[in-house]
Amino acid sequence: MPASITRTIFTTLFFSSIFIASPVVAQTFTACNPLNRTDCPHCPALSTNHTFDFLTSTAGPTWNTTAGALVYSEYNGAQFTIADRGDAPTTQTNFYIFGGEVEVWMKAATGQGVISSIVLQSDDLDEVDWEILGGNETFVESNYFGKGNTTSYDRAIWHPVKFTPQDDFHNYTTRWTQEEIEWFIDGASVRVLKYEEANGGKNFPQTPMNVRLGIWAGGDEDNDPEIVKWAGGKTDYSKGPYTMSIKSARVKDYSMGKEYVYGDMTGSWESIKIVPGNSTIEKQLNAPPPLTASQRWNKLSPGARIGIGSVIGVTAIALIILAGIYCVRQRKAGRQERAMADLALENERRELDAYQMRMAKGGFAVSSREVEGGRF
């Protein structure tokens, strides 16, 4: 056994004497368990290696926010925040890997009882975890489960770190094959689990898994007291909000195919069928971005450009002619309106002059129009 692993185990025994048990209840669930049903949906395969950049986007439609809401920042990436009781923002992939690597750049959340998590999980509840406690600045935890077996909690190992996980981003990587699982922190291996070490392979995670990133309050007062103890104590929401940040996630699928199918209800890796064909997820991820207007123009043939230019030129000339005709008509209409206004003004001036002359001669102050109308 490597010396680094031996040191980690001794450290784990010491740390476990402080925290006693480790009942990890992460944000995990399954909509259809293939161990109990034969009609569960097939698992879409990633079938490639891809880096999801949370600094510039929401990582695209291949991720699904299953709880809460995420905020995205060009400096800190995806923000998972607990502001009130019940908050547990989580996102997971719409694809699965069957063996592979998951590399996440994460800054853990602060806060007593607050858990920042990176989880690989299958539909039959195989699980591989990273979990970091908000109140623990010197250790991070790796863990695993097989088929949802929680009869014992002796699988977690606490790894000492020389940095504060809540202060800056660090690289947490999991490498998973059918023979072993290896955990890395900033590129350094900190744990290796062999297939036979997981209860003779019965508890070894071995079925297609998706990736889940999330934050939850293990220290919520409604949780089991052992969970609260493992999480480091009760969570004080008044001191929040508490935020976990993810810059990027690289996911590599070691298998190649369109999708993964459970061949029976055993949950063994041998029972998994790889459906041949092209992965729709891979096609979606590798699809080129839509062309810009200038790129579409540059792709046109010279003849097409000349044709389009001619149409645009003729259209522009026609618009100029129409605009000129409109202006001429408007100018003519304006002259007619001005002439009518001048005539009305001249009539009013003459009427005023006649009125003033009658007044000067002692006549009534009535207009000639009223006299002609027969009112007097």
Give the pLDDT score at 364. 44
Please state, in angstroms and rounded to a whole number, the distance separating the CA atoms of residues 315 and 168. Answer: 59
| β-bridge mates for residue 140, sequence order | 159
Average pLDDT, the chain: 83
pLDDT of residue 355: 62
Confidence of residue 9 (pLDDT cuts 50, 70, 90): very low
Tens digit of each residue's pLDDT (9 = 90 or more) over 45-77? 999 999 999 987 676 789 998 888 899 988 999
| CA of residue 136 relative to chain centroid, distance | 28
Report residue 291's pLDDT band, with 50, 70 and 90 as the boundaries.
low
* Cα end-to-end distance, the chain, whole Å: 129
pTM of the model: 0.72
19 pLDDT above the threshold of 80: no
pLDDT at 297 over 60: no
- Burial class, 178, CB count within 10 angstroms (exposed 0-12 / middle 13-18 / buried 19+): middle
The string of pLDDT tens digits covering residues 303-359 is: 777 777 777 777 778 788 877 777 777 677 667 777 776 677 777 777 767 666 766
Q: Higher pLDDT residue, 121 or 57?
A: 121
Lowest mean per-residue pLDDT among 34-43, 199-208, 209-218, 346-355? 346-355
Q: Is the confidence at residue 259, as pLDDT, over 70?
A: yes
CA distances from 187 to 115, 136, 159 (A): 22, 21, 14
**Distance of alpha carbon 194 from alpha carbon 181, whole angstroms:** 7
CA distance 280 to 47: 9
Diameter of the chain by CA atoms?
132
pLDDT band at 372 (very low <50, low <70, confident <90, very high): very low
With b for 16 or more beta-carbon neighbours within 10 A and e for fewer, the 200-232 pattern comes to: eeebbbbbbbbbbbbbbbbbbeebeeebbbbbb
Among the options 74, 101, 103, 131, which is catalytic?
131
The mean pLDDT of 20-28, rounded to a whole number, is: 42
Catalytic-residue membership of 127: yes
Q: Strands, DSSP E only, in the chain?
A: 43-44, 49-53, 63-67, 71-73, 77-82, 90-93, 100-107, 114-122, 127-133, 139-145, 157-160, 170-176, 180-185, 188-194, 209-217, 242-253, 259-262, 272-275
pLDDT in tens, 214-234: 999 999 999 999 999 999 999
The active-site residue, picked from 103, 127, 141, 259, is: 127
Residue 4 has pLDDT above 70, yes or no: no
